[in-house]
Amino acid sequence: MTALPEKIGKYEIQGILGRGGMGVVYKGYDRAIARGVAIKAITKASLDNEELKHVVARFRHEAQAVGRLVHPRIVQIYDYGEDEQVAYIVMELVNGKPLSQHLAQETGYEVREVGEVIRQLLDGLGHAHAEGVVHRDIKPSNILVNSDGRIKLSDFGIARIESSNLTQVGDVLGTPHYMAPEQFLGAEIDAQADLYSVGVIAYELLTGRKPFTGNTASVMQQALNADPEAPSTLKPKLSASMDAVLLKALAKKREDRFRSAQEFADAFREAVNDTLNPAAAAMPAAPAPAAPDPSALLNAARMISTAPPPAATAAGMPDLTGDSAISLDTGVKKGRLLVIDDEERILTALKSLFRERYHVFATTDGHKALDFLRRYQMHVVISDQRMPIMTGVDLLRQSRDVSPRSVRILLTGYSDLAAIVGSINDGEIYRFISKPWDNAELQRIVAEAVTIALELADTKVAAAELPEKMTAGVLVIDKDEEIFRVTRELAGARCPVYYAADLDGALALMHANEIAVVITDVEAGHEQVMAMLKILKQENPQILTIVVTTASDSELVIELINQAQIFRFLNKPVNVRLLKGHVEAALQRYLTYKQTPQLLDAHRVQQAESVRASSIGQRILEGIKTLRGKWFGGR
């Protein structure tokens, strides 16, 4: 047996997590920041010269593919290194085991549990596909399951990045039982192959067997020529809609499958609901309900307060409950809070804190929370981040679509950078609050959020159309001109794109031109740029900010959320497609603010008095304080 190395690069080696065809995965420790890591390493001496170049190139390719992905459902890449002996990838250490181990141990999965696994898997894949990364080897051994049920997608070793020529048409890559028909044929592979593989996994989890069985040759023939049995013939309790969803996912032709991970996820969620509620699935669809009036909510609250304690659901979670002392006065506007946390003691504490001023509803189940939001308008949604059924970022992202006028607050006791970034880019949260919280500070923030939501409750909002040409422009602030050049290429035909290398140049351009979007690197003159972002949002909230950085400091990002309300966050090296989408979304939002200025109230930030009073703050304030009146109608 090979001796355990003491170190790989700067990382101390503490043990072996696993072995595979590409090498060994070690448990490591980064002493500089006191963090455990996983290190996938290949020993160059174990490969002949002809293999070495190809294998190391693919290994490096994996680091590049996943390094651009920041998502709570994808194992994060921290570092890549190479010396004469080894090439290695440093990754997030996941405390869990592969889904394949659960299946090998004949661990049974309830339909609701399968629904949650597949939802998380499709959520991560949807992000990867949006970034132009196709995994191409989705299988249970590449899905890590934490003890609390959260999953992480790993091993992008044969992933394809758009514009990459590392693998060519004709390469047959993947694991036979989970490969799409086009993979067996060596055809060009796209996101549809990943979605097919997810269909195989869902089929296996629900029925206890794979769609096609036998040796590789037999599986290939079946995948190309045979149709799988309908899942309900193996498990009669599965709904007809589940049959339809899985057979569509496993269609031979790509064009007959789901077009995206989101479409698959939506259909699968409905099929799970139909399976769990067969009576409701058999009933004809009811017309969409009208918007509830205050008396309807009053009746619902009364039923909650007089009903006996709710029975536990199949997932062990209680039904949505309201404050037992709730009493709605329909003649007075009173804020409504929906709180989601998996700890009952937290729900009890928050209900006790807010029950005198607001109507408070609480649940431990994100799915129940979303169903409630569809029926009743909540002014503020406060969600914990780390929950076993649905993460806070996932819930807030979906609540943005279900209840766009609700003000969203993320409450958490830990700092997961990927989750925090997701809360900005997908959930558009109002504030980030750390546990344990200060009661006075929390009450102040919630009071602000409720005030904003009540003011906006009756505001008619329609997203502005993004024109081919607009006068408001994009300002890039960075010592390096690379982001400016890329942005000019992406948006220059639609609007002016300006460049400033420093703060003074930026202030001059903002004074002379109408600026809709600022793109800046927070590491370029860090303190000055941070001060500018804070004061800019205080004085001119109509300007949207996109932050580009290589920083991995979660506290910095939290500060930017709470004090500067940044619109989007991008890691370097920048994904061009993502940058284009963020810029267009920011320009559209700017125009929406212009036609409905009341929406700017949802972007209030607390004035950072110490920043404003500093010499740099005074200089910034002098440079930008007139912008809103000059370019935005004086509101």
Catalytic residues: 137
Give the integer Cα–Cα distance in Å for 165 and 218: 31
For strands 321-322 and 151-153, give the pairing.
Answer: unpaired
The SS3 assignment for 172 reads: coil
Give the integer Cα–Cα distance in Å for 302 and 44: 69
Stated as kind and residue range, the H or E segment containing 548 is: strand 544-549
CA dihedral 353, 357, 361, 364 (to 10 degrees): -20
Report the interhelical angle of 111-130 vs 261-276 (nearest 10°). Answer: 170
Token pair for residue 618? 């005074």
CB atoms near residue 366 (< 10 Å): 25
Token pair for residue 449? 């959020």
Task: Return the amino acid letter for 39.
Answer: I
Residue 486's Cβ-count burial label (10 Å; 0-12, 13-18, 19+) is: middle
Q: Where are the alpha helices (DSSP H) in 479-540?
A: 482-491, 503-512, 526-539
Contact 249, 202 (CB under 8 A): yes
Q: How many angstroms separate the Cα of 235 from the Cα of each of 105, 110, 152, 256, 280? A: 20, 12, 28, 24, 19
The SS3 assignment for 145 reads: strand
Stated as kind and residue range, the H or E segment containing 558 is: helix 554-564
Q: Which residues pair with 338 in a beta bridge?
A: 361, 381
Task: Return the amino acid letter for 562.
Answer: N
DSSP codes, 281-294: HHSPPPPPPPPPPH
Q: Which residue has the tokens 């799409």?
A: 180
Q: Which residues pair with 434 in a beta bridge?
A: 412
Token pair for residue 498? 């300006």
Contact 544, 615 (CB under 8 A): no
